[in-house]
Structure 1
Amino acid sequence: MIETYDQALSFIHGRTKFKKIPTLKRMRRFLDELGAPDKKIKAIHIAGTNGKGSTLAFLRNILQNDGLKVGSFTSPFLIKFNERISVNGVPISDETIVRLTKQVYPIVKELDRILPEGGPTEFEIITAMMFQYFSEGHADIVLIEVGLGGLLDSTNVVMPELSVITTIGWDHMHILGDTLPKIAYQKAGIIKPAVPVIVGKIPEAPLQVIEHVAQKHDSPLMVLGKQFLVRDLGFKNWQQRFSFSSGSQTFEQLTTQLIGDYQTNNAALAIQSYLEYCRLNKRPVNQASIISGIRQTKWAGRFEKISNSPTIVIDGAHNISAVNEIVTLLATDFTKGHIYVLMGVLADKQADKMVEKMATVKNVSVVLTKFKGPGKRQAANPEALEKKVESQKGQTVTDVIENWQEALQVIQQKLTADDMLLITGSLYFISDVRKYLLAPQN
């Protein structure tokens, strides 16, 4: 039986991660045994290769400023498991995790007994706990981030008010497909009949796939750059500035603490989602909620400055699409001083391409390191990775330091007032680093 928080987490994390044949039937059966909690909530469903978390954070803050209680379901967590289920940005308590785990436990055991492929996976259990919690009435609206893909993701049992697809890029190709249109088809799996869809900046070929699925489902489609527009106005004093327009709604000078022109795209998606939510629910649009919500939004681990002197930034860029965005940001706004990039990457990612791309920035030195991957997933071996990457202008990697704590100390000793240390490559890696650097010093 489960009585403590540690026992609850051991049970959840002890489950299988994937089944051989992905299906939503098991998830549907699981939820029906629980009393179909997913059918008792109002939700906005968010998919995409990158930008899901930031878009969710922007939207949560806008809706909160509008006086709503906002639930959210995100993954992975950065510091503590409870972050995955939160209300107004506050994670649920340890006691609630125990209570929810105790509720799902007997059903999981029963499904283990009767289903040929066994009962729910780890993520299916967490998803069911989320639906169960929010079905109790803790939030007016729940923002649900897709775990992986969309079509067969366990969150995709939900019938949302609104669907959002942020970006389509290269990630999880062994599961989602080896072309952007194939990946787009999986993400477009969250589109439901007649439910409006808001789509970010997406290349033409994958966008056509999304448009086709939306048309088939008779779902109204709003695309960034077509039905609504954003214009980046540059970076100043660690703030990104931009303008936004959609129909009669225009904002000339919005600011956000989330850095990068890709974050202005995410903010635009959030604003358009809010406008559409207001329209669907016959709520007045509150411009002050938008302005304050965007300005107040913080999202840990997204180009987050965690030290001023020296300048240390962490970013969870964990695939080639995200690294491309970071490289553009560095080459545009961080040309002064030297940038030391400490990278730890999971072995199942396009690690060599990520390192090669990062090394194209003129004032960057890449240092490779290693960290403990989650569960059975391994971090890429930094020495093997160094040998694999192609040489860019003589040398791509300036150093390999296996122990990341040692790497931090070595790099920090080199930093001048104009330099920056950027730690990136994996959300799991920066989670470890963030805990270490922000821990109270004895």
Structure 2
Amino acid sequence: MELANLVDYLYQRGAANFKVKLGLERIDELSKRIGSPQNTFKSIHITGTNGKGSVTTAISRILRFNGMKVGTYISPHLVSITERIKVNGENISEKEFVEIYNEIEEEIKTMDLKGEEYAPSFFEITTAMAFKYFEKQKVDVGVFEVGLGGRLDATNIINSDVSVITSISKDHIKTLGDTLEAIAYEKAGIIKKNNFLILGNIDESPKKVILNKAKEVNAEKIYEHGKDFYSINHRYFINNNMLDYHGLNYEIKDLIFGANGTFQIENVTTSLAATEAFMQKFGKTLSIEKVREAMANFYWEGRFEYTEINGKKMVFDGAHNLAAAQQLEKSVNLYFPTQKKIALIGILDDKDYEKMSQIFASVFDKIIVTSVPSERGRHPELIYEEFKKHTKNVEFIKDPSEGFNKLLSEKSDIYFVTGSLYLLGKMKELMSTNLVAL
């Protein structure tokens, strides 16, 4: 089977309609059927409303540069599904992706015969594939980003050694709850007995929920941002940011990292603490020199990602919820306070686009609203109407590729694509195949 055919098939299982199947029964059964591969390596588990992808990637880099063989599982992907499963920073090959699926297909089909309720979902299948691939690759540690929430997420059958909760804000409220406390409860579900727990910069009320859960399951140690670890002396330069880190056991002055955005300060700080905690738990020494090497070129694709295309300065930022839009506003004002800024924006229907549009309208001099390539992005016209309430300098181009070409035809100091990771992924795909004018 070719990769394209397999991806089409996996999407047909429900992912194309974004039918989320929460619950651990199916993934638990599937993993047992394939030999419980997730139990063959140490693991770190990361959740949070925002920042979990960056933290997952940063932790993986630091451990890899410190001599470990590291498996990394992230979602969603931007262009290729192979981005989701990595070993030592390299995507699983298309051939290996198909081979791993073929190895577990018989067990998936057996479960399918029991009925729709028992049929593994797209995400459950790719999670099982990551478990199996990491086992075959004999990784030392698997670093797993939660797909949605935590408590009932397919990744949560790992018996993690370190759990990380990066941030708590409102998103996916129909699934996770409409209060910070309810969302915190779902995120706290990844905490395990004897865990080392790392908490990012989280407000007191949701933090209390998390700490209660940690006590309930008997987490071994808890380290909190601002209390047990922190960073100071933040310096912001595009692709060349810097901070001083004060950690659990280490201090690092003038740490340079490539990832842009004010929010990446907290993500980098949390990543360093999580890596320290993991090394501490297993009596390993962290090389500060290797940390510097790992972080110097660290960035997270699609998060205030700066690049230049034919001399045009561009930023790709998948600010897909209200908290991320607020972070984008801070970062834009910090890095580009006086420059003219134009943006191509697409927002999913189920996001808080009323408030997001208000923020984006205050940030950009001109806005082009477009559709998001997703079943959850069926009504871009409604989002355009919302933007019109906040700015006169806005236009609507439904087709994203036409919108991107229009964006680049405008005169501006900086060009942005934002509002959805799905939109970013589509633009990157079009750029890679030369289907947009660069």
Normalised by the shorter chain, which TM-score bucket?
Answer: over 0.9
Quick check: 1:188 aligned with 2:194?
no
Of the three residues 344, 355, 368, the one matched with 1:353 is 355
Q: Is the 8 A contact 1:127 1:154 kept in 2?
A: yes
CA distance in 2, matches of 1:116, 1:412: 46
Q: Find the residue that maps to 1:359 and give its secondary structure.
A: helix
Q: Find runs of 4+ consecutive structure 1 residues off by over 4 angstroms.
A: 17-21, 438-442
1:145-294 equivalences in 2 (<5 Å): 145-219=145-219, 220-294=221-295
Once the two structures are TM-superposed, the CA of residue 23 in structure 1 deviates from its matched residue by 2.2
Once the two structures are TM-superposed, the CA of residue 21 in structure 1 deviates from its matched residue by 7.3
1:44-83 equivalences in 2 (<5 Å): 44-83=44-83
Letter paired with 1:5? L
Letter paired with 1:326? L
CA distance in 1, matches of 2:217, 2:393: 48
CA distance in 1, matches of 2:75, 2:370: 24
- Deviation per CA, 1:355-377, whole angstroms, max 9, x where unpaired? 1111223x53322112321xx33
What residue is the counterpart of 1:341 in the other structure?
343
Q: Is the 8 A contact 1:310 1:415 kept in 2?
A: no
Of the three residues 309, 312, 335, the one matched with 1:310 is 312
Q: Is the 8 A contact 2:347 2:371 kept in 1?
A: yes
Q: Which runs of 5+ in 2 are unaligned?
A: none
Paired residues, number: 432
Of the three residues 381, 384, 397, the one matched with 2:382 is 384
What residue is the counterpart of 1:9 in the other structure?
7
CA distance in 2, matches of 1:350, 1:54: 23
What residue is the counterpart of 2:425 in the other structure?
431
Alignment RMSD, CA only? Answer: 2.1
Residues 130-139 or 74-83, more deviating: 130-139
Of the three residues 392, 395, 398, the one matched with 1:399 is 395
- Deviation per CA, 1:138-184, whole angstroms, max 9, x where unpaired? 32111111110000001100001111111111211110000111011
Q: Is the 8 A contact 1:163 1:196 kept in 2?
A: yes
**TM-score normalized by the length of structure 2:** 0.93
- Deviation per CA, 1:322-377, whole angstroms, max 9, x where unpaired? 1110001112221122111210111122222211111223x53322112321xx33
Q: Is the 8 A contact 1:345 1:380 kept in 2?
A: no
Q: Find the residue that maps to 1:63 and give its secondary structure.
A: helix
Q: Find the residue that maps to 2:117 and give its secondary structure.
A: coil
CA distance in 1, matches of 2:21, 2:286: 44
Structure 1 pair 267–106 and aligned structure 2 pair: CA distance change class (3 A): same
Letter paired with 2:250? Q
Q: Find the residue that maps to 2:369 and give its secondary structure.
A: strand
Quick check: 1:322 aligned with 2:320?
no
Letter paired with 1:16? G
Residues 223-232 or 421-430, more deviating: 223-232
Once the two structures are TM-superposed, the CA of residue 67 in structure 1 deviates from its matched residue by 1.3
CA distance in 1, matches of 2:265, 2:248: 18
Once the two structures are TM-superposed, the CA of residue 248 in structure 1 deviates from its matched residue by 4.2
Structure 1 pair 369–22 and aligned structure 2 pair: CA distance change class (3 A): closer
Q: Is the 8 A contact 2:248 2:276 kept in 1?
A: no
What residue is the counterpart of 2:415 in the other structure?
421
What residue is the counterpart of 1:38 in the other structure?
38
Letter paired with 2:4? D
What residue is the counterpart of 2:98 in the other structure?
98
- Deviation per CA, 1:112-145, whole angstroms, max 9, x where unpaired? 2235723211111111111111122432111111
Structure 1 pair 13–331 and aligned structure 2 pair: CA distance change class (3 A): same
**TM-score normalized by the length of structure 1:** 0.92
CA distance in 2, matches of 1:5, 1:408: 28
- Deviation per CA, 1:50-108, whole angstroms, max 9, x where unpaired? 11111111111111111111110011111111111111111111221121111221111
Letter paired with 1:401? I
Letter paired with 2:431? L
Q: Is the 8 A contact 1:46 1:52 kept in 2?
A: yes
Q: Which runs of 5+ in 1 are unaligned?
A: none
Structure 1 pair 322–21 and aligned structure 2 pair: CA distance change class (3 A): closer
Once the two structures are TM-superposed, the CA of residue 437 in structure 1 deviates from its matched residue by 3.0
Once the two structures are TM-superposed, the CA of residue 397 in structure 1 deviates from its matched residue by 5.3
CA distance in 2, matches of 1:293, 1:208: 33
Residues 319-328 or 24-33, more deviating: 24-33
Quick check: 1:110 aligned with 2:106?
no
How much identity, in percent, do the aligned residues show? 30
CA distance in 2, matches of 1:163, 1:207: 14
Q: Find the residue that maps to 2:184 and give its secondary structure.
A: helix
Q: Is the 8 A contact 1:167 1:200 kept in 2?
A: yes
Q: Find the residue that maps to 2:325 and give its secondary structure.
A: helix
Once the two structures are TM-superposed, the CA of residue 244 in structure 1 deviates from its matched residue by 0.8
CA distance in 2, matches of 1:336, 1:116: 55
- Deviation per CA, 1:34-59, whole angstroms, max 9, x where unpaired? 11112112111111111111111111
Q: Find the residue that maps to 2:355 and give its secondary structure.
A: helix
Q: Find the residue that maps to 2:150 and give its secondary structure.
A: coil
Q: Is the 8 A contact 1:123 1:154 kept in 2?
A: yes
Letter paired with 1:368? V
Letter paired with 1:13? Y
